[in-house]
Amino acid sequence: MCTEAKFEEWAVIDLFGHRRLAGRVSEAAILGGQLLRLDIPLEDGKFLTQFLGPGSIYSMTVVSETAARQVASCNKPEPVHQWEFPQLAEAHSPDGLEKTWPPSEDDDSEDIPG
């Protein structure tokens, strides 16, 4: 009886869209599909996990843990950016006082386009 070993390696991954990520790579089956799980080491000792579709990968190079950690420290992914959520930026008034979001029903301010 032959059992396949699961792939688990440290690697540098180049993605279409000119992104480079690095970390511990393993296989993941999610929602019936095969994805690549990438655990990216952070400076605080924790990991940020991202799941990648095989079609988004341009190349993957297996490297040492030290090399992967070095590349990861120079290519820090950010899960979200403030510009992706304009309501967060607009929730702060110029005078430094925070507004509530969403606005109450009796608020006369204009709706923020979605």
Residue 49 lies in a domain: yes
Whichever domain contains 68, its CATH number is 2.30.30.100
Residue 22 lies in a domain: yes
With contact defined as beta carbons under 8 Å apart, do 12 and 67 qualify? yes
Residue 105 lies in a domain: no
pLDDT of 18 reads 83
Residue 88 lies in a domain: no
Residue 94 lies in a domain: no
**Number of domains the chain contains:** 1
| Residue 92 pLDDT class (50, 70, 90 cuts) | low
Residue 22: domain span: 8-78
* φ, ψ of residue 108 in degrees (nearest 5): -90, 0
pLDDT of 103 reads 54
68 vs 96: CA distance, rounded Å: 42
| Residue 62 pLDDT class (50, 70, 90 cuts) | very high
Residue 103 lies in a domain: no
Residue 61 lies in a domain: yes
What's the mean per-residue pLDDT of the chain? 79
Residues 6+ away with beta carbon under 8 Å from 87? 101, 102, 112
